[in-house]
């Protein structure tokens, strides 16, 4: 059997299948051709020697912003995604009904990362940093959103709405209602962005349906998941039991170590870990999804459990086909090769709180449909080199 590429001697971790062990992976025609204890590389053109490295499904980042040049906060997709282990990236509301056609043609169709999206209930998406997209609630038009989501149903995974007061003013409840109406019509999840809203978080949670997603779940901003005594609010426990998903969505202002730690101590962990990487956090504290997952290894998760939160769990959360977020013979060869770097590393949350960690996942090489993407070949100067403090 002749393959195009073989990844040799890596420690393959595929949480969805409970796989953790030394294996070889063969790639042919952009697909995974074999996952075996030993694959001969005799006739193979290309070999990645992965001894001492981790080989995992290509990561799935549930929350990014990559409508570059249009959404104010967006960055280019490939340098931070496919060059850094993420083969599937889900843009969280950078585009709305007015701009999804352009996003689809000029980004999704043009980049190497598989980019999908939550469509913003605001037609403008997240266009501007100073003028909130739902301060004028007329931008939230259910029919337009539903129509656009149906037209682009191959790339739209759900509806996004941001509920912070400087974005929606006093319109948070009506904005949420409209997002949920669109989500119900489309039979797709709604992702809500929380923190600093006019109304309390429990009022939002009560309205969510099973499968809806809260992003920025561990924000240190007001109206979050903890009460004044640092206890997880009852509504969050109820929501968790009903199947609402608590996503991290780290971002520039929305992940707090003290909040995440209090939640962990009380037994409430995230359902998915996403980066919310964008231009205001790319150079820290987020950097990329592997750094965000490393923060959960720091918080006590096994590597396998942390990787599940950035592969199979986000894939399932938005109903992607079963083979995305796991390693399956016959599926696209979307594979991340990473180093678990041992040694002191300082992790910083969105509030500037620091934690001294000892393990950092670092992207070494990514395969997307069998094509190789190495971070040192990334064209983005800000992404070359090691940004972390040691």
CB of 65 to Zn ion, least distance (A): 6
Q: Which is nearer to Zn ion, 215 or 378 (CB)?
A: 215
Q: What do you get for the CA distance between the two ends of the chain, in Å?
A: 45
DSSP string, 232-295: BPHHHHHHHHHT-EEB---TTTS--HHHHHHHHHHT---SB----B-TTTTTTT---HHHHHHH
Peptide bond into 131 cis (omega under 30): no
Q: Which is nearer to Zn ion, 92 or 318 (CB)?
A: 92
Q: Is the dihedral of CA 27, 28, 29, 31 positive or negative?
A: negative
Of 25, 28, 82, nearest to 55 (Cα)? 25
CB of 63 to Zn ion, least distance (A): 6
Using CA atoms, how far apart are residues 53 and 137, in angstroms rounded to an integer?
50
Strand runs labelled E in 323-378: 335-348, 354-368, 371-373
Q: Which is nearer to Zn ion, 67 or 139 (CB)?
A: 67
| Backbone torsions φ then ψ of 160, nearest 5 degrees | -115, 145
Q: Which is nearer to Zn ion, 92 or 167 (CB)?
A: 92
Of 272, 289, 249, 274, nearest to 375 (Cα)? 289
CB of 126 to Zn ion, least distance (A): 7
CB of 64 to Zn ion, least distance (A): 8
Q: Which is nearer to Zn ion, 55 or 194 (CB)?
A: 194
The residue number with the shortest CB distance to Zn ion is: 276
- Asked if residue 349 binds Zn ion (CB under 5 A), the reply is no
What x-and-dash track marks residues 304-323 binding Zn ion by CB under 5 A? --------------------
Q: Which is nearer to Zn ion, 281 or 294 (CB)?
A: 281
CB of 277 to Zn ion, least distance (A): 9
Q: Which is nearer to Zn ion, 66 or 92 (CB)?
A: 92
Q: Which is nearer to Zn ion, 133 or 276 (CB)?
A: 276
What CA dihedral angle connects 2, 376, 340 and 56, to 10 degrees?
-40
Binding to Zn ion (CB under 5 A) within 78-107 occurs at 92
Binding to Zn ion (CB under 5 A) within 238-297 occurs at 276
Q: Could you count the other beta carbons within 10 Å of the beta carbon of residue 36?
A: 12
Whether the Cβ atoms of residue 59 and residue 290 lie closer than 8 Å to each other: yes
Structure tokens at 52: 């001492």
# of chain residues touching Zn ion (CB under 5 A): 2
Helix (H, G, I), strand (E, B) or coil at 156: strand
CB of 23 to Zn ion, least distance (A): 36
* Bridge partners, residue 27, by sequence: 5, 32
Binding to Zn ion (CB under 5 A) within 8-37 occurs at none
What x-and-dash track marks residues 178-207 binding Zn ion by CB under 5 A? ------------------------------
CB of 339 to Zn ion, least distance (A): 28
CB of 94 to Zn ion, least distance (A): 8
Q: Where along the sequence are the contacts to Zn ion (CB under 5 A)?
A: 92, 276
């Amino acid at each position: 059997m002749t393959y195009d590429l073989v990844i040799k001697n890596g420690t393959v971790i595929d949480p969805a299948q409970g796989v953790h062990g030394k294996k070889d992976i063969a790639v042919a025609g952009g697909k995974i051709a074999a996952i075996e204890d030993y694959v001969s590389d005799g006739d193979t053109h290309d070999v990645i020697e992965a001894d001492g490295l981790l080989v995992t499904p290509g990561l799935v980042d549930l929350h990014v912003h990559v409508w570059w040049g249009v959404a104010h906060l967006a960055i280019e997709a490939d340098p931070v995604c496919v060059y850094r282990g993420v083969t599937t990236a889900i843009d969280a509301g950078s585009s709305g009904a007015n701009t999804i056609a352009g996003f689809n043609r000029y980004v999704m169709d043009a980049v190497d990362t598989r980019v999908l999206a939550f469509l913003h209930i605001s037609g403008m998406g997240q266009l501007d940093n100073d003028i909130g997209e739902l301060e004028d609630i007329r931008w939230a038009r259910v029919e337009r959103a539903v129509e656009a989501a149906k037209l682009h149903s191959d790339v739209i995974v759900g509806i996004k709405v941001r509920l912070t007061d400087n974005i929606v003013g006093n319109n948070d409840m009506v904005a949420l209602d409209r997002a949920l109406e669109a989500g119900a019509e489309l039979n797709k999840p709604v992702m809500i962005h929380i923190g600093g809203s006019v109304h309390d978080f429990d009022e939002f949670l009560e309205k969510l349906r099973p499968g809806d997603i809260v992003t920025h779940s561990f924000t240190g901003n007001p109206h979050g998941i903890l009460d004044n005594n640092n206890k997880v609010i009852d509504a969050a426990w109820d929501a968790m039991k009903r199947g609402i998903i608590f996503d991290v969505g780290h971002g520039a202002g929305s992940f707090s170590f003290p909040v995440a730690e209090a939640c962990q101590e009380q037994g409430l962990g995230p359902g998915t870990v996403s980066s919310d990487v964008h231009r205001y956090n790319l150079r820290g504290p987020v950097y990329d999804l592997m750094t965000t997952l490393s923060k959960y290894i720091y918080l006590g998760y096994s590597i396998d459990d942390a990787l599940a939160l950035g592969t199979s769990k986000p894939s399932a959360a938005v109903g992607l086909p079963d083979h995305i977020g796991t390693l399956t013979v016959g599926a696209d060869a979307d594979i991340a090769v990473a180093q678990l770097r041992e040694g002191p590393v300082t992790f910083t949350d969105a509030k500037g709180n620091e934690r001294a960690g000892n393990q950092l996942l670092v992207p070494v090489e990514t395969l997307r449909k069998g094509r190789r993407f190495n971070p040192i070949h990334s064209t983005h100067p800000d992404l070359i080199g090691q940004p972390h403090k040691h």
